[in-house]
Structure 1
């Protein structure tokens, strides 16, 4: 199948590309920077430059394409707003896909987005779901709730570097999933007729609270975490201040996600029927503990190698000076 992956250089998008190539699809990647996407070309994908926020660049990318997997989203530190990328850009992409008579369209939303109309990203994801469903395209909507990869920056690295781990005072446990497993479902959807015009949750094998993840990191690293708890009311004040400055709108909108965590209700969903429809085995799904254990094993080994090289360099510097005899 000739497949276009949008958001191909992102944490999830690159895994979609890798999986699709491994399964024999012809993959074209829609990227803003050819240089940033060079590694995708090395894998065997075709690159085409463009931006969903520049509608005129989309149609050329869809020429000869049978299916689209859309993994693009705005960045908190990006210059474009959530509305520009996750709504305006997605509308342009979906309309261009309709015009190009694309046969399948896979879209990544967020679990329970319909429950949080006051959280900008959640509300826009829900609106995009509705727009896609009404577009006439044969669609599949996938709803993950958290990536395991994000836990490295949020928890693992601060613990290793003895920096503060920032968490909210109130937090809901989340069923994180490895992006490699999410990509597996996305690519599999292209070959399963039962996924057409359907919406599926994509969640991990169990939920994890922030304190549980911190304890896991402490055990695996043999280091004690420095925990800083931020009350929800403080985040609300920060969000309000952020709305005064255009450059911080994205950060402000992302802070609104704390409202989701503040409910205390687990972000989780039943997956038995999902595995059945996709024909995948839940035993093959990565679980959080071995995922984090693998990371810490690799990083601790690397740190030991660095310490060894430093010690070796010090010994060389301490070589006694041999004075010449007269």
Structure 2
């Protein structure tokens, strides 16, 4: 494995997944720490590249290169260009979690990246993964975990970061509650807990992984600051910010089971419904599994064993949303 640089600041970093919310924040954090950042992004849909970093939400100072991350030839020709890079950082993830998308992006595209990194002499890869791969029951989790194993076995230095829940993933009910509707809870609202982390706090953590030798060749779970919070606590906090008494509507988990079974059966006849069944399974997973470190011996989630970083809490974010100082960019990940 490649030795860590004695001067970890000022590295040349090849960043993929730079136009997602975490990717943009990571680009900002890397530039702020003095790194030379090349972002490999998709061309516009009309085939023309966009040369303005600001139009993509990226900071001044990054270099944009355009190509196709799923095409090994494009990675080498349009992205790496036989140039020297110290570290590859991937914030790339499938947009929907559907099986075909997950294996194409979370696994196959990352294998192409890994091969390109090795061929180019890159010595270190920082991978943004997910804490839910600890208990893989879904296609996208299996795909991520399969690539994690490939990276660990590759001979490259690696840092695999498994964050807990993102703020945007926990913001889907803010607008409905603002409009006077109740907060939806599965079960009693205490089935799960998480230590959510902001985009910027996670980005700063990822950027530090580029530099810190003690984070190499490790799998690192990471959450945000403070204690773990349940969905009920999230709802209570939001109502308090609005100055209203809490109103909850309870949804039985069994209803999700019925939906999954129905869509799975229908999907055998209508292929489009198979994708919907997978999305329903994803929804059920997040309704019943905590985003915390899993104790393999007991099979229980452990909030105390889940490290935290940063300063912004989910409730700080809710307050910014309500003031109009932030916008929840959920997009294709709304199901999450």
Q: How does 1:24-43 map to 2 (within 5 A)?
A: 24-33=34-43, 34-35=49-50, 38-40=55-57, 43=60
Which whole-Å CA distance do the structure 2 matches of 1:6 and 1:249 have between them?
30
- Contact 2:162–2:221 (8 Å) recurs in 1: yes
Instruction: Classify 1:120/1:273 alpha carbon distance in 2 versus 1 (closer, same or farther; 3 Å).
Output: closer
Q: Choose 1 or 2 for highest CA Rg.
A: 1
- Closer, same or farther in 2 for the Cα pair 1:196/1:294, shift >3 Å? same
Matches within 5 A, 1:278-289: 282=309, 284-289=310-315
1:6 to partner: Cα distance: 1.0
Tell me, in whole angstroms, the C-alpha distance in 1 between the residues paired with 2:307 and 2:325: 34
Deviations 1:226-282, CA, capped at 9 Å, x for gaps: 65544333334434516445446555434323454455556246788968xxxxxx5
Q: Report the TM-score when normalising by structure 1.
A: 0.77
Q: Which residue number in structure 1 is paired with residue 331 of structure 2? A: none
For structure 2, which runs of at least 5 residues remain unmatched after alignment? 1-10, 44-48, 294-301, 327-336
Does residue 253 (structure 1) correspond to residue 278 (structure 2)? The answer is: yes
1:166 CA drift (Å): 4.4
Superposition RMSD in Å: 3.1
- Contact between 2:75 and 2:116, CA under 8 Å: does it hold in 1? yes
1:138-287 mapped onto 2 (5 Å cutoff): 138-152=157-171, 154-162=172-180, 165-169=183-187, 171-204=191-224, 205-223=226-244, 227-240=248-261, 241=263, 243-244=267-268, 245-247=270-272, 251-261=276-286, 263=288, 267-268=292-293, 282=309, 284-287=310-313
Q: Counterparts of 1:188 and 1:29 in 2: how far apart (Å)?
A: 18
Partners of 2:65 and 2:279 in 1: CA distance:
29
Given the alignment of the two structures, is residue 20 of structure 1 paired with residue 30 of structure 2, yes or no?
A: yes
- For 1:96, the equivalent position in structure 2 comes to 116
Q: What are structure 1's unaligned runs of at least 5 residues?
A: 276-281, 301-326
Structure with more of its chain in helix, by fraction: 1
1:66 corresponds to: 86
Q: Secondary structure at the match of 2:69?
A: coil
Q: In the alignment, what sits opposite 1:319?
A: none
Residues 160, 223 of structure 1: 8 Å contact kept: no
Distance 2:182 2:96 in 1: 20
Q: Structure 1's 15 and 115: CA in aligned 2 closer, same or farther, altered over 3 A? A: same
Distance 1:150 1:127 in 2: 24
**2:159 is paired with a residue of what secondary structure?**
strand
TM-score with structure 2 setting the length: 0.75
| Pick aligned residue for 1:11 from 18, 21, 24 | 21
* 42 and 290 in structure 1: CA distance in 2 versus 1, 3 angstrom threshold: closer
Counterpart for residue 305 of structure 1: none
1: distance between equivalents of 2:306 and 2:237? 30
